[in-house]
Amino acid sequence: MIHLPRGTQDILPGDSEKWQYVEDVFTTICHQFNYKEIRTPIFEHTELFQRGVGDTTDIVQKEMYTFNDRSDRSLTLRPEGTASVVRSYVQNKLYGVNTQPQKLFYNGPMFRYERPQQGRMRQFVQFGIEALGSADPSIDAEVIGLAMHLYQSLGLKSLRLVINSLGDQESREAHRQALVNHFKPHEEELCSDCQQRLEKNPLRVLDCKKDKDHPAMQDAPKILSYLTDEASEYFNQLKKYLDAMGIDYVVDSNLVRGLDYYNHTAFEIMSDADGFGSISTLSGGGRYNGLVEELGGPNTPGIGFALSVERLLMALEVEGVELPVNEGLDCYVISMNDEANLKAVELVHELRKHNIQVDKDYLGKKMKAQFKTADREKATLVLIIGDEELQQNVVQVKNMTDGIQETVDHKDLVSYIKDRI
RNA sequence: GCGGUUGUGGCGAAGUGGUUAACGCACCGGAUUGUGGUUCCGGCAUUCGUGGGUUCGAGCCCCAUCAACCGCCCCA
């Protein structure tokens, strides 16, 4: 038997309804916030991610699904959404259209070659938004606000919003130097990963879990102490806006995001619900003011976030949130014999044209078994056709909730049903 | 990439070397002729993830392989 590739999943009826529901909520909220959908290809030139996501990141170094096509082009299944959206923004010159900032959203599968575990798939689905063309902290607050609103409107309670500022270029450089100076004397005591991080990206040392109890961690230089006045003011503005929106947050100066393009605002939303396992990050995002230029566009600020649908559904599950997915069928048509079945075929098609959700038996089952099926399908009404009904041009309509059965004339059937579903 | 646990019918799950692989749920059929959700009766795995090996004999032992789950790393 051939079965699905590692780290992928089939989403079957029973679950797919939940996905549809969550997707609908996301789309609706994006429209309320005036974000428009953008759809980009699922694969791109490998170079886009090398430049956009950053050559030093784990994603590019060891997690990309990269392959050569028949013309020997190097292509990569997208590991995240932002690079593609920015590429499209530049290529289609969206910086030139009237409405700025461009507020975009996307929803689709991403691919990373990782060891699967709970909440981490090789193919996973992200909802994301990107706002391009504004460097106003109020739009940072809007992006965060949209994310929080989405979770809360779905019914999640145990949420924790963590924010940080990574500062601008100048802040980061000063901080980087301070980190190197701080950790250099302790280099021998740090784990091998951190020794490498100290060279390539000292910021990441702060994120290390092995060395988190090392004394040098406790008094390590905080980025927030190295922010320029301008960057600091930007961060303060953001906090002011979040306060005004009534959004709770904690500042965590050790919050570091894994992608190279971030600066200024960085944030993550975590679940604090019990039983969530080791992976508690539901979504993350931040500002990426240099990215558009890096990808060949004009100097344009941008901010976005992405959330994992898999983890969102996990969070709903562990918090015991029941999504209002419609489960029951409106009508089930039962026929007693071949002649009645002919009538059933006609009737079912007719009712469907009137937007009534209806089904019938296709296995030639006996009446009793057809009733069982109707029951299992949670049909509200059962329509019964037998010889007598055929003769009199009526159907029996049984309400499965209260058991009451009435004889209904064909010409009255549609309105009769519509009154009861 | 590394470590741990696991893999028996549609699902859950007994079985730890010896004739026909428990049980529960689900499903299908029946309990006098056209009515469901309860009850009763009956049916439902030549086969134990896959491929090798050991043995007179393996679901149970060994090796490999694939997969899932959990953790590390990292992330959404």
- What CATH number is given to the structural domain containing A34? 3.30.930.10
Same domain, yes or no, for A299 and A400?
Answer: no
User: Which helix (H) or strand (E) element contains residue A162?
Assistant: strand A159-165
A276 vs A112, residue with greater confidence: A112
Alpha carbon distance A372, A94 (integer Å) = 57
Amino acid type, A275: G
Distance A205 CA to B19 C1' (A): 65
Last residue of a domain, one of A297, A318, A339: A318
A249-298, pLDDT tens digit by residue?
A: 999 888 877 677 889 999 999 998 877 767 689 999 999 999 999 999 99
A218-239, pLDDT tens digit by residue?
A: 778 888 899 999 999 999 999 9
Q: Per-residue pLDDT for A389 more than 90? A: yes
Last residue of a domain, one of A274, A292, A318: A318
Beta partners for residue A67, in sequence order: A75
Cα angle value A77/A80/A86 (rounded, 5°):
100
**Does any domain span residue A212?**
no
Burial pattern A342-370, b for ≥16 Cβ within 10 A else e, equals ebbeebbeebeeeebebbbbeeeeeeeeb
Alpha carbon distance A53, A330 (integer Å) = 49
- What CATH number is given to the structural domain containing A366? 3.40.50.800
Alpha carbon distance A359, A357 (integer Å) = 7
User: Which helix (H) or strand (E) element contains residue A68?
Assistant: strand A65-68
Instruction: Take residue A208 and report the two structure tokens written for it.
Output: 């290390």
Q: What is the pLDDT of residue A326?
A: 72
Same domain, yes or no, for A261 and A350?
Answer: no
Q: What is the pLDDT of residue A184?
A: 83
Number of domains in chain A: 2
Task: Give residues 375-414 of chain A lying near strand B (Cβ < 7 A).
Answer: 375-376, 382, 384, 386-389, 396, 398, 400-401, 403, 405
Same domain, yes or no, for A335 and A297?
Answer: no
Alpha carbon distance A398, A410 (integer Å) = 15
> Roughly what angle, to the nearest 10 degrees, separates helices A169-183 and A192-200?
140
Q: Please answer whether residues A53 and A87 qualify as being in contact, where contact means their C-beta atoms are separated by less than 8 angstroms.
A: no
Same domain, yes or no, for A123 and A47?
Answer: yes
Last residue of a domain, one of A318, A345, A372: A318
**Does any domain span residue A10?**
no
Q: Per-residue pLDDT for A408 more than 90? A: yes
Alpha carbon distance A91, A376 (integer Å) = 52
Q: Which nucleotide is nearest to A191 (CA to C1')?
A: B73
Q: What is the pLDDT of residue A56?
A: 79
pLDDT grade, residue A198 (50/70/90)? confident
Same domain, yes or no, for A122 and A64?
Answer: yes
Task: Give residues 254-313 of chain A lying near strand B (Cβ < 7 A).
Answer: 256-259, 268, 277-284, 306-308, 310-311
Same domain, yes or no, for A335 and A303?
Answer: no
Q: What is the pLDDT of residue A235?
A: 96
Range with lowest mean pLDDT among A179-193, A233-247, A315-329: A179-193
Range with lowest mean pLDDT among A87-96, A98-107, A281-290, A324-333: A324-333
Task: Give residues 158-187 of chain A lying near strand B (Cβ < 7 A).
Answer: none
Range with lowest mean pLDDT among A49-63, A268-282, A294-308, A322-336: A268-282
Q: What is the pLDDT of residue A210?
A: 65
Q: Which domain holds residue A379?
A: 331-418
Rounded mean pLDDT of chain A? 90
pLDDT grade, residue A305 (50/70/90)? very high
Strands (E), A316-393: 331-335, 358-360, 381-385
Q: What is the pLDDT of residue A405?
A: 93
Beta partners for residue A164, in sequence order: A266
Q: Per-residue pLDDT for A335 more than 70? A: yes
Q: What is the pLDDT of residue A240?
A: 97
The stretch A83-112 carries a mean pLDDT of 96
**Does any domain span residue A251?**
yes
Q: Per-residue pLDDT for A92 more than 80? A: yes
Same domain, yes or no, for A63 and A116?
Answer: yes
**Does any domain span residue A128?**
yes
Three-class SS of A393-416:
CEEEEEECCCCCEEEEEHHHHHHH
Q: Which residue has the tokens 């990309």?
A: A64
Q: Which nucleotide is nearest to A373 (CA to C1')?
A: B36
Alpha carbon distance A389, A406 (integer Å) = 12
Q: Per-residue pLDDT for A195 more than 80? A: no
Query: Which of A1-10, A43-52, A173-182, A367-376 shows the highest mean pLDDT?
Result: A43-52
Distance A223 CA to B43 C1' (A): 71
The stretch A127-133 carries a mean pLDDT of 97
Same domain, yes or no, for A70 and A148?
Answer: yes
A336 vs A257, residue with greater confidence: A336
A196 vs A185, residue with greater confidence: A185
Q: If you measure CA to C1', which residue is closest to nucleotide B50?
A: A1
A338-350, pLDDT tens digit by residue?
A: 899 999 999 999 9
**A82: three-class secondary structure by DSSP:** helix
Q: Which nucleotide is nearest to A115 (CA to C1')?
A: B1
Same domain, yes or no, for A270 and A381?
Answer: no
